[in-house]
Structure 1
Amino acid sequence: MESTEHLHRQIEGLEDLRTIVKTMKSLSAVSIRQYEQAVEALGHYYRTVELGLQATLGPMARPRTQRRRRGESPRSAVIVFGSDHGLCGRFNEEVSTRALERARTELAGSGWHRVLVVGALAAASLEEAAQPLEEILPAPGAASRITATVQQMLVRVDAWRSRDGVDNVYLFYNQPRARSGYRTTEEKLLPVDVDRLRRVEEERWPSRSLPFFTMDPWRLVAALLRQYIFVSLFRACAASQASEHSSRLAAMQAAEKNLDEHLEEVITTYRRVRQAAITTELLDVVAGFEAVSGDGGE
């Protein structure tokens, strides 16, 4: 039987651990909201950029796609969004597995010449699967740091396109579900789906004033496309961070439940052991009293 001192130390340790878990729950809940607000705010800007592309692409001819030499396969690059910290379930493993599965099936013919990873743990999962990585970026610790991370990614994407001749860029990230949890998402960043933008063109313009522009159309489209890519990367990064904290919140809720159950068991055991010790002491006192009383009677 365990001693009351040992059980008391266990109770104190479990209570300290429960305090840490509650703090992490609170931090995750606050973090989820700030990333959700960042995505919501970006949605209006995304719509503005989309309308700008709709207005500029309408009167322009369909852009020509870059053609490769015969027998030369297209080159692809990948950006995988993960986390730097654990305690978030299989968050990093799932997004890494999805990226690797995609690489070994539909994109196997193109070859993944460049892989950039956001988050040390996602990078570790990919390296464990023998996937070479070009660069690892730290995950932004707050919504205010996403812009700096996206700017680093934009520099890398520009280098892929201009220096390495990369044709396709894919994003892999976890996206929050409507109620709880997340789903792993794949998004094609480049080349931009012009057909989808032309479908947007068929929508009714939101005002009576038709748009017009005076600057060079190709320069305007290039500027808008850069903003379009920026928004896509920002949105993927923010969604990944929100999913990370959502997964951590769920893990902490499960941990708190297990801790409460275990703490209740230990407290029950502590009370039983303490009661048994008190009963034993009382019996010893009674036995001693009876022994003393018996000696006095003789």
Structure 2
Amino acid sequence: MSNSTAGLRRQIDSAADLQSVVRTMKAIAASSIGQYERSVRALVDYKRTVDLGLGACLRTLGSSASRATRRTSATRRVVSVVVFGSDQGLVGRFNEAVADHAIATLGSLPDVPRVFAVGERVHALLVDAGLAPVGRFAVPTSVNAIPPLVGQILVDSQRAGRHEADSQLHLIYNSPASAAAYRTVSKQLLPLDEGWRRTCIETPWPTKNLPEVMGGAAVTLAALVGEYLFVSLFRACAESLASENSSRLAAMERADKNIDELLVDLRGSFHRLRQDGIDEELFDVISGFEALNRPRQRPKGQGAPP
């Protein structure tokens, strides 16, 4: 009995320790979601400023900007695809969902893409699918670590050629859809085609004082395009991290619930086994007491004691 109860006690202690770890991970995931969502909201005003600047530059350049968005050479087009996943597990089908979407998207591209994977887990899934990425990056662990990652992605994606008008840059990542859900999305940042140019030009200036581009519209336009790419990559990374932590929070909540149910079963089994042992010991004591108080039977032929 002691070995069985000792074994159950060890299981209860192990489950309680695991539940403590799970609840700590839940708290970390919940706090991480907040910082990434705040960073996305903070980008809204900055992105609007960049869009206004792009519109002002494009209106100043006029038709010359339209010619810049057309393919100007017969060189091979550079197609880069950045896939955002996770380094750590316990996120459900987070990496599988983005990898499946990436495989379907890459299969529809006319040119052979150069794939960059952000996250060890999604990198392994892409390799297993026969799409070996040319670059692999670690997932940022905080908002402050996102800008260096974005800068490195932009540098590495230009090694085969600069981001010219005819190059392509695609982003594939999970974006928050609700409290604990996400959806896999893909965005094409490049090329800067006529539709993009028209959208920027049609963005209205917020005041009656019209802007004036200083230092040359072409130079300013190139700088603003760089900011446009930076903001888009930053937002994709932050939304992916928010989705990752939302998925981990949901997984930890399910684990916490399962551990609660397991502890109820283990504690019930422990109390039943302990009660069975107590009942058995009490039965032995009562049986012994009755045996001691039972009258002794004397053998035949023997008289009463003197």
Verify same fold: TM over 0.5. Answer: yes
- What is the one-letter code of the residue matched to 1:128? D
How far apart are 1:195 and its partner, in Å? Answer: 1.9
Say which of 78, 90, 94 aligns to 2:93.
Answer: 90
Q: How many residues align?
A: 293
Aligned to 1:205: 205
- SS of aligned partner of 2:183: strand
How far apart are 1:101 and its partner, in Å? Answer: 1.0
How far apart are 1:220 and its partner, in Å? Answer: 0.5
Report the Cα distance in structure 2 between the residues aligned to 1:213 and 1:268, rounded to whole angstroms: 76
- Pick closer, same or farther for the CA change 1:53–1:259 going to 2, 3 Å: same
Q: TM-score, normalization: structure 2? A: 0.90
Q: Deviations over 1:68-111 (max 9, x none)?
A: 53xx874421111111100001111111111111112x21x312
- SS of aligned partner of 1:88: coil
- Pick closer, same or farther for the CA change 1:50–1:119 going to 2, 3 Å: same
Report the Cα distance in structure 1 between the residues aligned to 2:163 and 2:292, rounded to whole angstroms: 99
- Structure 2 residue 109 is the aligned partner of structure 1 residue 103: no
Say which of 47, 67, 70 aligns to 1:63.
Answer: 67
Report the Cα distance in structure 1 between the residues aligned to 2:176 and 2:193, rounded to whole angstroms: 24
Report the Cα distance in structure 1 between the residues aligned to 2:146 and 2:152, rounded to whole angstroms: 10
How far apart are 1:41 and its partner, in Å? Answer: 1.1
- SS of aligned partner of 2:175: strand
Q: Deviations over 1:9-67 (max 9, x none)?
A: 11111111110000000000000001111111111111110110011112322133124
Cα RMSD of the aligned pairs, angstroms, is 2.2
Aligned to 1:29: 30
Aligned to 1:234: 234
Report the Cα distance in structure 2 between the residues aligned to 1:188 and 1:196, rounded to whole angstroms: 11
Larger Rg over CA atoms? 2
8 A Cα contact 1:76 1:166, kept in partner: no
% identical equivalent positions: 41
- What is the one-letter code of the residue matched to 2:99? S
Aligned to 1:80: 83
Q: TM-score, normalization: structure 1? A: 0.92
Report the Cα distance in structure 2 between the residues aligned to 1:249 and 1:81, rounded to whole angstroms: 19
Report the Cα distance in structure 1 between the residues aligned to 2:49 and 2:262, rounded to whole angstroms: 53
Aligned to 1:41: 42
Alignment of 1:1-298 (within 5 A): 3-60=4-61, 61=63, 62-64=66-68, 65-67=70-72, 69=74, 74-104=77-107, 106-107=108-109, 109-112=110-113, 114-162=114-162, 167-294=167-294
8 A Cα contact 1:58 1:198, kept in partner: no
- SS of aligned partner of 1:15: helix
Structure 1: unaligned runs, 5 residues or longer: none
8 A Cα contact 1:170 1:187, kept in partner: yes
Q: Deviations over 1:211-269 (max 9, x none)?
A: 11232111000000000000011111111111100000000001111111111111111
- SS of aligned partner of 2:60: coil
Report the Cα distance in structure 2 between the residues aligned to 1:21 and 1:39, rounded to whole angstroms: 27
Report the Cα distance in structure 2 between the residues aligned to 1:122 and 1:177, rounded to whole angstroms: 20
- What is the one-letter code of the residue matched to 2:173? Y
- What is the one-letter code of the residue matched to 2:89? G
